[in-house]
Amino acid sequence: MATLLFEIGTEELPSWFVRQADDAIVGIVSARLGGAGLAHGAIRRYSTPRRLAVLVDDLAAFSERRPDVRRGPAESAAFDADGRPTKAAIGFARASGVDPADLLVEDTDKGRYVFARRELGGDPAAELLPPLLAGVIDDLPAPRKMRWGDGDAAFVRPLAWLVALLDDAVVPVRFAGIEAGRTSRGHRFLHEGPIELAHAGDYPDALDRASVSADRSERRASVIASAESAAATAGLLLERDSALEEEVTDLVESPSAILGSFDARFLDLPDAVLATVMIHHQRFFPTREQGGALAASFVAISNNRVPDDTVVRAGYEQVLRGRLDDARFFWDADRRATLAQHAWALAGIAFHKELGSMADKVARVAKATRRLAELLGVSKEEAAVLKQALPLFRADLATQMVYELPELEGTMGCAYARAEGLPEAVAIALEDGVLPRGPSGALAASRVGALLSIADRLDTVTGFFAIGRRPSGSADPFGVRRAALGALRTLTAQGWRVPLPKVLQAVAGSYSAPVVEDDVLADVERYLWDRVAGLLAEEGIAPMVVRAAVHGSRSVIGAARRAHLLQGLVAVPGFADLLTLHKRAANLAKQTGGAARVKPGLFRDPVEGPLHDALPEARRGVERLMAGVRKQLAPWDLGHGPGVELQGLDAAVAEVVRLKAPLDAFFEGVMVMVDDAEVRGNRLALLGEVADALSDLGALSYLEAPAEA
């Protein structure tokens, strides 16, 4: 067994790619080694802005041996009358890698055929590795790659060096004109000269001595620990931000925290402005006082360690001061006009050439929001807030602050509303209306803000569907998928049990050009239900359960609750058998046309009455189950929800499952399709009531397959 080291040295990599490659490289190397038949032990990964590497333990010296059997032509076609191999046999032998004399003739169920048998594998790892490792570079996923030099090789950034060692021997890998060797590089500023590696296993310690923290998880922990320590020296608390922590980790090889400060006069800017400038534009961590107030200090993570960081700190502070001066200018300039005045400028901001300006979009959203408010019901206080918020929604898009810092859309609407002295509920609604900002972003907390958010996002989805700009595959240039997910998450978080078609009609009714046709609206509804199914799958719901829940629901939260309930029910003993009987009953009941009523006086068999008598209990059980799941699954963020604890619903489950025995007895003892039309119709009507008794649980026919298993 040997140790394999493969290091890809590059010019500075983008931070997003370092994280992506670090996640993928172990799987890629393992797949390549497995495909070559090379057994191996643990694979350790290393990544920094200048390198990607793997260290493979216990790599086999030879590929695994395995038999290879191929069937060729029939014996009659493989040999002539004298027993000599024909051209067909010779060609088959050549293609199979054996000598024609080694071909075998064997009996099969289709006659006698020629076979080639050989043993594959047993190849030295040293011979298999060069093309295998070069392929790893090609396999690393990246949406964009570049070419350099005269060759056709492409990568995210030009390669600077390659290291490939099998124990102490160099593996002759070649990529983009670079030959692998045993020479690596240390930290750009903190280590002089190359690193000569005598053995693959020396790699981690050698990098550590060269001031490179190559283990990403350890480097991330070091970033956080050093930043918190730097803040603590001034008695401050670090403002943690997971996205910033991830990014900074992949910008440095040897993290060093530096505490800086800025003029306290900037603290009268909104906290969100200060935090956005520091985090998103300077990659600095904000700090807070022990009491929670934002402090006039920050922590920067440097890729250099110097005895005296005065000059470095001054540079950070100077750059931040310029950014904050700009933010101060925007803040003061924007407040010279009211939000209502900024809203007039939305007419000059394009939304889409076929869907009008942002003013047109906001006007549509206002109409849709009013319709949704009528549909869902709002209090007098909420109606008053909505009346004030609608004309100001997204007005901050016309401000200089949002133009320069687009991450602050909505946040600045809230801030400027507060600065104007508008009611706090109006300010909150203006920010809530643009939430969520991403797949897992925070949702609107206020009902008015949620109405705005849903109307705005569904206006986007409906509009782009109407003009034929629908998302396809991974392509979604207009953010339709993101808008759809945000609307659905907000609907469930608010607990609104409104039928989805009615929500879409309220939104589509705000469009005059283009007109949203019925077939387009139907496509939008199908698209949204598909997204609901995807979000439920993220919560661990089985596909067939998702289908049963979605096809049996009209509201999004209703479908989600049914999905969680059914996910638990399918595991209950007896319920799977009941599903099979229920489907049989439902299929037969379709022949009644749905209009017949049960007449107990037409019962002719002793098993009919007990089945009819069992239905009220089954209905009560279903009602109790639905009430229980509504209680357990209060409004939640769809895609990030909990499961249902069916242990608390045992009695209700038992009421439903007890229907199995009389229904089983009915099918065992009664012929439904008898000659007597009245009796036949009455039995079909009874089965119709059986089907209806459980219908509120969902489209149960989709659950038959797992029930049979």
Is the bond preceding residue 514 a cis peptide, omega within 30 degrees? yes
223 or 83, higher pLDDT: 223
**Residue 16 confidence class, pLDDT cut points 50, 70, 90:** very high
Count Cβ atoms within 10 A of the Cβ of residue 661 and give its class: 0-12 exposed, 13-18 middle, 19 or more buried.
Answer: middle
By C-alpha distance, which of 700, 686, 599, 640 is closest to 488?
640
User: Which of 262-271, 324-333, 571-580, 653-662 has the least mean pLDDT?
Assistant: 571-580
Domain ranges (residues) in the chain: 2-62+124-209, 72-117, 216-331, 340-538, 545-708
Contacts of 695-698 spanning 24+ positions with Cβ under 8 A:
695/552, 696/552, 696/622, 696/623, 696/626, 697/552, 697/562, 697/565, 697/566, 697/569, 697/622, 697/625, 697/626, 698/548, 698/549, 698/551, 698/552, 698/553, 698/562, 698/563, 698/566
Q: What is the per-residue pLDDT across 162-196, written as a single tens digit (0 to 9) for each?
A: 999 999 999 999 998 899 999 999 999 999 889 99
Distance, CA of 113 to CA of 77 (rounded, Å): 9
By C-alpha distance, which of 531, 528, 561 is closest to 545?
561
Asked whether the beta carbons of 443 and 493 are under 8 A apart, the reply is yes
Helix/strand/coil for 534: helix
Going by DSSP bridges, is the β-strand pair 178-179/174-175 parallel, antiparallel, or unpaired? antiparallel
User: Which of 290-304, 411-425, 604-618 has the least mean pLDDT?
Assistant: 604-618
User: Which of 192-196, 453-457, 632-636 has the least mean pLDDT?
Assistant: 632-636
Q: What is the per-residue pLDDT across 520-539, written as a single tens digit (0 to 9) for each?
A: 999 999 999 999 999 999 88
pTM here is 0.82
Q: What integer pLDDT is reported at residue 634 of this predicted model?
A: 80
The fold adopted by the segment(s) 340-538 is Hypothetical protein af1432 (1.10.3210)
Q: Residue range 290-306: average pLDDT?
A: 95
**Interior CA angle at 18 toward 14 and 20, to 5°?**
115
Q: What is the per-residue pLDDT across 595-624, written as a single tens digit (0 to 9) for each?
A: 578 888 888 888 888 889 899 999 998 898
Q: What integer pLDDT is reported at residue 277 of this predicted model?
A: 97
Phi-psi region of 410 (alpha: psi -120 to 50; beta: other; left: phi over 0): left
Q: What integer pLDDT is reported at residue 709 of this predicted model?
A: 37
**Residue 594 confidence class, pLDDT cut points 50, 70, 90:** low
Contacts of 329-337 spanning 24+ positions with Cβ under 8 A:
329/400, 330/399, 330/400, 330/401, 330/404, 331/269, 331/270, 331/273, 331/401, 333/400, 334/399, 334/400, 334/401, 334/412, 334/416, 335/416, 335/419
By C-alpha distance, which of 506, 494, 500, 507 is closest to 458?
507
Distance, CA of 488 to CA of 641 (rounded, Å): 13
Count Cβ atoms within 10 A of the Cβ of residue 553 and give its class: 0-12 exposed, 13-18 middle, 19 or more buried.
Answer: buried
End-to-end Cα, the chain, rounded Å = 45
**Residue 706 confidence class, pLDDT cut points 50, 70, 90:** very low
**Residue 674 confidence class, pLDDT cut points 50, 70, 90:** confident
Q: Residue range 202-223: average pLDDT?
A: 96
pLDDT at 553 over 90: no
**Residue 643 confidence class, pLDDT cut points 50, 70, 90:** low
pLDDT at 119 over 90: no
pLDDT at 484 over 60: yes
Q: What integer pLDDT is reported at residue 708 of this predicted model?
A: 43
C-alpha distances (whole Å) from 435 to each of 155, 170, 488 are: 37, 54, 12
**Residue 25 confidence class, pLDDT cut points 50, 70, 90:** very high
pLDDT at 291 over 70: yes
Q: What integer pLDDT is reported at residue 631 of this predicted model?
A: 82
Q: What integer pLDDT is reported at residue 593 of this predicted model?
A: 61
